[in-house]
Structure 1
Amino acid sequence: MTAGAERILVIGEALIDIVDRGGRQARHVGGSPLNVAFGLARLGLATTFATAFGTDEGGSAIVRHLAEAGVAIVRTADAGRPTSTALARIGADGSASYEFDLAWAFSTPPATAGFDVVHVGSIGALRAPGADGVRELVAGLPEQVLVTFDPNIRAALMPPREETRARVEAYAARAAVVKLSDEDAAWLYPDDAQAAPERLLAAGARLVVMTRGAEGSVLHTGELRVEVPVRPTVAVDTIGAGDAYMSGLIAAIVRRVGIDDARAGRFTRAQLAEIGAVAAASAALTVGRAGAMPPTAAELDRALDRALAADPTPAAEQGSVVPLR
């Protein structure tokens, strides 16, 4: 991937992950939108992150962390509140469960002129009162801006299910690209989780991607369904895996599809397989090391080169590509 002129704005929460492994704790900068912004910048895209955090030790760590990747920061609220935290308990299989101490404010919306892509998601997009301002901002974006969205459901922090589902579908009405996990889908649509992509496409999304953990991911458009396998890796933990998938997906769409075509939903079979493979490789590299540390562009390119050397099958043939029923 080579650097381009595209500018990306990510909006959402920043926090400190307190990672507990059998009673031993370590602190990492986190928050789903922050991880996406960090991942995009590491992949060479000019990225600005609009968020809120305090002037405490946690806030200083966030500033240092984002500076490492060259992410520009815009505050969406004054810095008088403590920086939010998430306690992540890591199980024997590397999975994580969370407890949050979080406040999300959006009293100072960022300027959006000049951005080609706006990504929103998670608590910042769905938890009031800050989410109300985020929804208003997204609804007012110029048509030429590509909007991407990841609900990244944290049930304990969300509004009631029906209200959250309505908010998610409202974002899908404007977002060309929606990524969600099978767990998100099961919470949002408990009666028929497999219908979630169709529901979100009907709401207005052009591309809906469902990640399924070890079973890989499925990319849905109005005409196609493309299955992409996971990349083999030894999992250290799953923190940030979905966010690394999201940043890899956005970067691949921008570089390999183009903003105008993605916004209009013009994806070929080969493109869907390719961008899914890039996103899966990004996630695999992240779960192979502790904390939410997504790959650099060079690391991702090397991983993709190794995969191509091991299996030279064209990208369009690596996944199962079938029409939607």
Structure 2
Amino acid sequence: MESSPLQQSPPPKPVVVFGEVLIDRLGDGQGVIGGAPMNVAWNLRGLEQFPYLITAVGADEDGKRVLESAEQWGMTTDLIQTDIDRPTGVALVHDRGNGPEYDLPREQAYDYIRFPEAFVESFPNADDAILYHGSLCCRSPVSFDTVLQLRKQFAAEIVVDINLREGNYTTEIVKQLIDGATVLKCNCDELSLITGQTCRSHEQILNVAKTLFENSTVRELWVTDGASGAYWVNQNGDHAKQDAEKMDDQSLVDSVGAGDAFMAVVLAGMATNEFRPETLEKAVKFSAKVCQIAGATTHDGDFYAVASV
């Protein structure tokens, strides 16, 4: 009797990541490659995914460093545009114990990301792709227009990561980003600002999520709450809460990039159709691990074993 071949899992859905790449200038003056979309794409590569990162850098030393680092990490750089008129983005990061705070100069390369027409036209399976983007890059009309064009092309699964940086967003733009999204990720404070409701407990999150699902296209909500953990809810009423990893003061280095680490694991889980509560558990563990290193990412491949999916 012949044995049947082992059933192979389908390949992960392709993930298209759009938005800013910048250099995080930390309190000690150290420059670390960052920006939420860049961090997410970097971590996805660490999780053995192959994201398509669409962004822009300047024709400067920081831009050269971004390109070289991405290539060394095994990321494709074909969709990283070079802007000869504007510098690679920077963020001045301050962590005063209540989470990182950012000063974000304007007129950076990521404010002018052009629509990658050739890439979109040749993309083989847009209906099966996941489009991820944040909100910071949408402060510029050019990059915002590119976001809207990409959303038309990759409409099946649009994941919006809300990062509300003071002075870098408007209520109207946030509403436009949520309109048409299928998955929303934010923290509790951001969800409160978006909905006008208190979001500090599991029950409150479920009530807010129900209203959100009834009044928008969002089908799935991921909410982080710092040291308290994170939540997942979908439109069918399925939900889960994951408590945060306990961490002593000596282990905590900074919280820069914790939310991006969380989101990378979520996207990896979505790409492989992983059971969502399992993804939530991995995402919380990995975000805690990122808090034990300086900055948001690392070149250490072994670092990602805790969150492999």
Q: Which amino acid aligns with 2:133?
A: V
Match of 2:295 among 281, 291, 296: 291
Which string of whole-angstrom CA distances, capped at 9 and with x for unpartnered residues, describes residues 245-298 of structure 1?
Answer: 0001111222243xxxxxxxxxxxxx2320101111221111111111169775
Identical amino acids, percent of aligned pairs: 22
SS of equivalent to 1:52 = strand
1:45 Cα deviation (Å)?
A: 0.5
TM-score (norm 1): 0.78
SS of equivalent to 1:251 = helix
**Residues of 2 paired with 1:167 and 1:199: CA distance?**
17
Query: Judging changes above 3 Å, is the alpha-carbon distance between structure 1 residues 25 and 129 closer, same or farther for their aligned structure 2 residues?
Result: same
Q: Which amino acid aligns with 1:201?
A: F
Which string of whole-angstrom CA distances, capped at 9 and with x for unpartnered residues, describes residues 34-64 of structure 1?
Answer: 1001110111011121101101111112112
Query: Judging changes above 3 Å, is the alpha-carbon distance between structure 1 residues 292 and 180 closer, same or farther for their aligned structure 2 residues?
Result: same
Partner of 2:259: 242
Query: Judging changes above 3 Å, is the alpha-carbon distance between structure 1 residues 224 and 7 closer, same or farther for their aligned structure 2 residues?
Result: closer
TM-score (norm 2): 0.81
Query: Judging changes above 3 Å, is the alpha-carbon distance between structure 1 residues 283 and 83 closer, same or farther for their aligned structure 2 residues?
Result: same
1:28 maps onto 2:32 in alignment: yes
For structure 1, which runs of at least 5 residues remain unmatched after alignment? Answer: 258-270, 306-325
1:215 Cα deviation (Å)?
A: 0.8
**Conserved in 1, the CA contact under 8 Å of 2:59 and 2:83?**
no
**Conserved in 2, the CA contact under 8 Å of 1:283 and 1:294?**
no
Q: How does 1:244-323 map to 2 (within 5 A)?
A: 244-257=261-274, 271-293=275-297, 298-302=302-306
1:118 maps onto 2:131 in alignment: yes
Partner of 1:323: none
**Residues of 2 paired with 1:27 and 1:33: CA distance?**
17
Match of 2:42 among 38, 43, 46: 38
**Conserved in 2, the CA contact under 8 Å of 1:94 and 1:236?**
no
**Residues of 2 paired with 1:58 and 1:45: CA distance?**
25
Partner of 1:230: 244
Query: Judging changes above 3 Å, is the alpha-carbon distance between structure 1 residues 75 and 286 closer, same or farther for their aligned structure 2 residues?
Result: same
**Conserved in 2, the CA contact under 8 Å of 1:169 and 1:200?**
no
**Residues of 1 paired with 2:153 and 2:139: CA distance?**
17
Which string of whole-angstrom CA distances, capped at 9 and with x for unpartnered residues, describes residues 18-40 of structure 1?
Answer: 001xxx31111111111001110
1:83 Cα deviation (Å)?
A: 1.0
Match of 1:190 among 196, 216, 230: 196
Match of 1:79 among 79, 84, 94: 84
**Conserved in 1, the CA contact under 8 Å of 2:245 and 2:288?**
yes
**Matched positions, count:** 280
Which string of whole-angstrom CA distances, capped at 9 and with x for unpartnered residues, describes residues 91-138 of structure 1?
Answer: 2x3721110113311333352313522211131245433112212220
CA RMSD of aligned residues (A): 2.6
Which string of whole-angstrom CA distances, capped at 9 and with x for unpartnered residues, describes residues 187-233 of structure 1?
Answer: 32335455653344231122101100011111011212211111233
1:216 maps onto 2:253 in alignment: no
1:88 maps onto 2:93 in alignment: yes
SS of equivalent to 1:25 = coil
Q: Which amino acid aligns with 2:68?
A: R
**Conserved in 1, the CA contact under 8 Å of 2:285 and 2:306?**
no
